[in-house]
Chains A and B, each alone.
Chain A
């Protein structure tokens, strides 16, 4: 069975500072990995995904993540936080070959301080 662990349910950063949200997964084979963002009273929006190929994945809004198989990690970063980045972020994993049965982490609430 696959699982996802997001370290830190709440993360606060100052505007302009580096954003680092941590995600570790457990899977017997390399899965597909995703980061989604959820704004209040809205659904989920895909930030980026890793399936195969290049391990550094760039997404929307300046976010990127690096797949590290040896560390079973897929941490999300953004060089400079913006107030509009305040939201809840979810890391998710799916079996390789199917992106439609996602297992989500518990989420990280990002607060951006002025």
Chain B
């Protein structure tokens, strides 16, 4: 079974631009979460999507947004990029049973490394 894939793997943008990152979960997984990893702040939860709905959101400004499509693929968008948005953005997927929550394992993709100049 293919793992979580993220595209692109590397990206360079300039301040003020916007960027869209893509995540394809493991087949059958319906939950997708996004995390930001930086040397200064470490790994921080951005948001989680399930059934095309945002279920949880971390403490990030509104410039960070996301969405999920009917095939569970997810995108995250960052508008008006700032230097501090340079980071590794990780996507994780997990399977959720009907109405269930519990402790399904999150499987992480390799990440998209974003550099803002």
Contact with B along A47-91 (1 / 0, CB 8 A): 001010000000000000000000000000000000000000010
* Chain A CB within 8 A of B22 CB: no
A100 and B110 contacting across the interface, CB-CB below 8 Å: no
B106 touches A46 (CB 8 A): yes
Do the beta carbons of A100 and B106 come within 8 Å of each other? yes
Q: Of B56, B108, B110, which one neighbours A101 at CB under 8 angstroms?
A: B56
- Nearest Cβ in chain B — how far from A10, in angstroms? 14
| Contact pick for A99, options B58, B90, B105, CB 8 Å | B105
- Give the number of chain A interface residues (Cβ < 8 Å): 24
Contacts of B90 in A (CB 8 A): 43-44
Cβ contact of A41, chosen from B31, B43, B94, B110, cutoff 8 A: B110
Place the interface of chain B in its size category: 20 to 34
A46: B residues at CB distance < 8 A: 105-107
Nearest residue, chain B, Cβ from A45: B108
Whether the pair A43, B106 counts as a contact (CB closer than 8 A) is no
| Distance to closest chain B CB from A35 (angstroms) | 12
Task: Considering the complex, give the chain A residue whose CB is closest to the CB of B55.
Answer: A100
Closest A-B pairs by Cβ, 3 of them = A43-B108, A104-B43, A44-B108
Q: List 8 A-B contacts (CB under 8 A).
A: A32-B103, A49-B105, A98-B101, A100-B94, A100-B106, A102-B45, A104-B43, A106-B42
